[in-house]
Chains A and B, each alone.
Chain A
Amino acid sequence: MNNDLLLLLEKNARLSCEELAAMLDMDKAAVAAQIKQYEAEGIIRGYAAIIDWERTDREYVSARIELKVTPKKDRGFEELAEQISRYSEVQSLYLMSGGYDLALTIVGKTFKDIASFVAYRLAPMESVQSTATHFILRKYKDKGVVVDDVHRDERRVVL
């Protein structure tokens, strides 16, 4: 599979089929069909903006939680992972190698939201052995974008 189309869309989902076709030296109809297929196959899961919420007045807290888990016989981590991912507060969930098993990021309005999520949702789960919660203080780079960097072109015409 040639991933150029996906790589372009990952960086900028607002390019039109016409622009994508030109950039990739493809037929416009072929680009449109390919995107449809990616969507149908679940390869393209959505088209989201990259937002630096720090610049808005939205109040929120996000945290990264590490879970140590006793894997279930036959189903390993799958069952627990499925359950946790059902909560809408959970932004991402990964199975990790190393000192702990599952890593998740969650977002809440307040510190208390996060605390209750850990205390009432995660900790009581049967196979969860322990939790470690780390609050995110500041994002420097997110989804490949350095959020602190407002683009300013410092180049000048010299010759």
Chain B
Amino acid sequence: MEYQNLIARSAAGLQPSGIRKFFSLAAEMKDVISLGVGEPDFKTPWAIRKAAIDSLDKGRTWYTANAGLAELQQEISGYLSRRFSLEYDPAQIMVTVGGSEAIDLCVRTFVDPGDEVLVPEPCFVAYAPIVALTGGVPVPIVTKEEDAFRLTAGALKAAITPRTKLLVFPFPNNPTGGVMRRANLEEIAAVLRGTDIMVLSDEIYAELTYGEKHVSIASIDGMKERTVLVNGFSKAYAMTGWRLGYVAAPPVVMDVMYKIHQYAIMCATTTSQYAAIEALRSCDDSIEKMAGEYNMRRRLMVDRLNKIGLHCFSPEGAFYVFPSIKSTGLSSQAFCERLLNEKKVAVVPGDAFGESGEGFVRISYSYRVEHLREALDRIEAFVREIK
């Protein structure tokens, strides 16, 4: 078989993830300290795990409704109102297999071949490939450290063309830690309100902001009707492996996403959904405890990296720091490869998150303090040696 000739062009064009590429190198080495993962180090709170076990005990092993358990839709609706002052009717909420499925659904719902999708970068690595699969054209908008890695109204305006269909809005941001405050959102909303551009707001890190509480763009005047809100349980409740997220959207949009979800997925995992109900009912405290812990680690990382001589923006959300390595004179790839080979510390080259990430590296701090400290000691020794 000539497989190469059979594979769809859009699929064949997919590039391997820059993070994975680098970490398969790291995986082959022994005693490597990794600062690469993008998931909490906390275990899912026990009460949540117990709820899942109980649901299995009771034999609740069938499909749920396509949009998810009604009880869970109800709880999510309450949660969005309680935590972010967002009012969504439960029928406007659909439970998905992680935030990832929700992103995919939204892109498939809106993007035809040739449509342009604006993607602020550096950002999560999945948006552009998903857009490319539908034949859409990802259009990066660079966010800069001098703007606190926020999307500015000016940059947005400059990137809009008659073919612009969708704006990916990834805040709090992985990998930069940039967040959009209410005043920044107002400016973005002012640009979008007069257009037919939809916003894919990926708020998976909404519970992890340091300083002010997260504000959703959907809560800004006139924005709910043009926003598809994506969130999930992975980061806030340390539930990555449960693969559970959700999407909230205007009714007509939801009708289409519902159909795609129904045909492609049917429903999210039943056991995870029962666990999620418990999470939303009783675990606000756990969220805050974990967020407090991340915050201390964040300050430790920023302080130490700056002292080491790697200029580090103080991230306002998520659990990564994104220091500049320009002072070393090395490229991101070279820095990471040498740090791995010489000190056995694995961090992610910034260019994995888009070209504009060149000159930076992403360091996750979802690790125990002892682990972080050992890694920082090695990074310090490395930087001293190369300078």
* Complex interface: chain B residues within 8 A of A15 (CB): 369
Residue in chain A with minimal CB distance to B22: A157
* Complex interface: chain B residues within 8 A of A57 (CB): none
* Complex interface: chain A residues within 8 A of B373 (CB): 19
* A23 lies within 8 A of B37 (CB): no
* A22 lies within 8 A of B299 (CB): yes
Decide yes or no whether B370 CB sits under 8 A from chain A.
Answer: yes
* Complex interface: chain B residues within 8 A of A158 (CB): 20, 38
* A23 lies within 8 A of B299 (CB): yes
* Complex interface: chain A residues within 8 A of B125 (CB): 159
Q: How far is the CA of A21 from the CA of B299 in the complex (A)?
A: 9
Decide yes or no whether B34 CB sits under 8 A from chain A.
Answer: yes
Residue in chain B with minimal CB distance to A23: B296
* B19 lies within 8 A of A159 (CB): yes
A12-B369, A15-B369, A22-B303 are known contacts. Are A155 and B39 too (CB-CB below 8 A)? Answer: yes
Q: How far is the CA of A41 from the CA of B13 in the complex (A)?
A: 67
Chain B residues bordering chain A, tally (CB within 8 A): 25
Q: How far is the CA of A21 from the CA of B300 in the complex (A)?
A: 8
* Complex interface: chain B residues within 8 A of A23 (CB): 296-297, 299-300
* B299 lies within 8 A of A25 (CB): yes
Decide yes or no whether B304 CB sits under 8 A from chain A.
Answer: yes
Decide yes or no whether A119 CB sits under 8 A from chain B.
Answer: no
* Complex interface: chain B residues within 8 A of A151 (CB): 368
* B37 lies within 8 A of A157 (CB): yes
Excluding A24-B299, A157-B36, 13 further A-B contacts by CB distance (< 8 Å) are A21-B303, A23-B296, A23-B297, A25-B299, A151-B368, A153-B34, A153-B41, A155-B41, A157-B19, A157-B20, A157-B26, A159-B20, A159-B38
Q: List 20 A-B contacts (CB under 8 A).
A: A15-B369, A19-B304, A19-B369, A22-B300, A22-B302, A23-B296, A24-B299, A25-B299, A151-B368, A153-B41, A153-B367, A155-B39, A156-B37, A157-B19, A157-B23, A157-B34, A158-B38, A159-B17, A159-B38, A159-B125
Taking Cβ atoms with an 8 Å cutoff, the residues of B that contact A are 17, 19-20, 23, 26, 34, 36-39, 41, 125-126, 296-297, 299-300, 302-304, 367-370, 373
